[in-house]
Amino acid sequence: MANSYIPLQMKVQRIEAEDPDRTLRTYDLTFVNESEKEAFKYLPGQFCEISILGKGESPFGIASSPTEPDYLRFTVNRTGSVTSDIHYLRNGDIVGMRGPLGNWYPVDDMKGMNVLIVGGGFAFTTLRSLLIYLLDSRDDYKDITVIYGARNPDLFIYKDEIAIWKQRDDIQFHLTIDKPVDGWNEKTGFVPTVTQEVAPSPEDTLAIVCGPPVMIKYTLPVLTELGFPDERIFTSLERRMKCGIGKCGRCNIGSKYICIDGPVFSMAELKNIPEAF
Ligand SMILES: Cc1cc2nc3c(=O)[nH]c(=O)nc-3n(C[C@H](O)[C@H](O)[C@H](O)COP(=O)(O)OP(=O)(O)OC[C@H]3O[C@@H](n4cnc5c(N)ncnc54)[C@H](O)[C@@H]3O)c2cc1C
Ligand code: FES
Q: What percent of the chain has pLDDT over 70?
A: 99
CA atoms within 13 A on the CB side of 229: 5
CATH of 8-101, one of 3.30.70.2860, 1.10.3720.10, 3.90.1300.10, 2.40.30.10: 2.40.30.10
Q: Span 107-236: which CATH code?
A: 3.40.50.80
* Dist CA 236 CA 211 (whole Å): 8
Please list the alpha-helical segments (H only) found in the chain: 34-39, 81-87, 107-110, 125-135, 159-167, 191-198, 213-226, 258-261, 267-270
Q: Structural domain boundaries of the chain? A: 8-101, 107-236
Alpha helices (H) in 136-207, listed in sequence order: 159-167, 191-198
Q: Find the 239 Cα to ligand 2 centroid distance in Å.
A: 9
Q: Is 239 in the pocket of ligand 2 (CB under 6 A)?
A: no
pLDDT in tens, 241-277: 999 999 999 999 988 999 999 999 999 999 888 777 7
pTM comes to: 0.96
Give CA angle at 212 (185, 108), nearest 5°. 90
Distance between CA atoms of residues 43 and 105, nearest Å: 8
Categorise residue 183: left if φ over 0, alpha if ψ from -120 to 50, beta otherwise: left
- Region 21-25: mean pLDDT is 94
Residue among 58, 73, 126, 215 to mutate when testing ligand 1 (max atoms within 8 A of CB): 58
CA distance 56 to 242: 10
Q: Is the CB of 259 under 6 A from ligand 2?
A: yes
